[in-house]
Structure 1
Amino acid sequence: MSQLPYLDEHATDIAADVDAVWTALLATLDRAGMAGYARIVGCADYTASGPRPLAEGSTIPGFRVVTALPAAELALEGRHRFSSYALIFRIEPDGAGRSRLRAESRGVFPGLLGGVYRLLVIGTGGHVVAVRRLLSAVRRRSEA
């Protein structure tokens, strides 16, 4: 995972403790509804499988869980015909009953089709919008 080139990182502050954020993160990811997209782009993992709540070896459409350190870090890896990528979530305490959730993205886009895909997903800002929406959904679920 660390061999993949760094793409970006986004973060949000959450008015909830790290345990609540962890629970909300797992629930949000497990309900993300990406199966159709994962099939279209040819993801290696396009269905949900494995232990629940998410743990090492679990899959969700588009990703396999490679690290699950409760209330601290969740690392996901994936690949499809245009890219190999990782999404690493880190949860840090940020004062009494508060947390900071960070999402780091890494990826490689080989070949001409990979370059076109990168332009469509990264270059247009679609990736940024998707990650920020995901972080917002986790924040709302954590604070509810």
Structure 2
Amino acid sequence: MTNQIYPCLWFDGQAQAAAKFYCSIFKNSKITADNQMVVTFELNGKKFMGLNGGPHFKFNEAVSFVVDCDTQEEIDNYWSKLTADGGSEGTCGWLKDKFGVSWQIVPTVLPKLLSNPDKAQNVMQAYMKMKKFDIRELENA
């Protein structure tokens, strides 16, 4: 495919470990090429590249990956796996994994709840207090 666009993630010597970690979490994922400098991989069929670029740059929240989840079980699964072994919880569905990459684990029902004029304010107040999203609590807000 020409002109394919995909993210390149800059790691300090951990690109292969990160690719293996992410491929173990997401279905339909695999490492497609690997050498000491660069690893390419697919997560849910989407292409990524990991670069062992050194300590010059660090990840921050300016870029994050959003994972849409239909069920609480999906949210719980991704949340626990991505925060494992040194990851950290943020607020409003945000987290950082052990490599410092930011993720948003979001219920697919959230836009619908926020578009309901009778519930939107309560839903927003509820999720602003959350770290990991709780679908039932959002629906009951």
TM-score category (smaller protein) = 0.3 to 0.5
Highest RCO, 1 vs 2 (Cα 8 Å, sep ≥ 6): 1
TM-score (norm 2): 0.34
Structure number having the greater strand percentage: 1
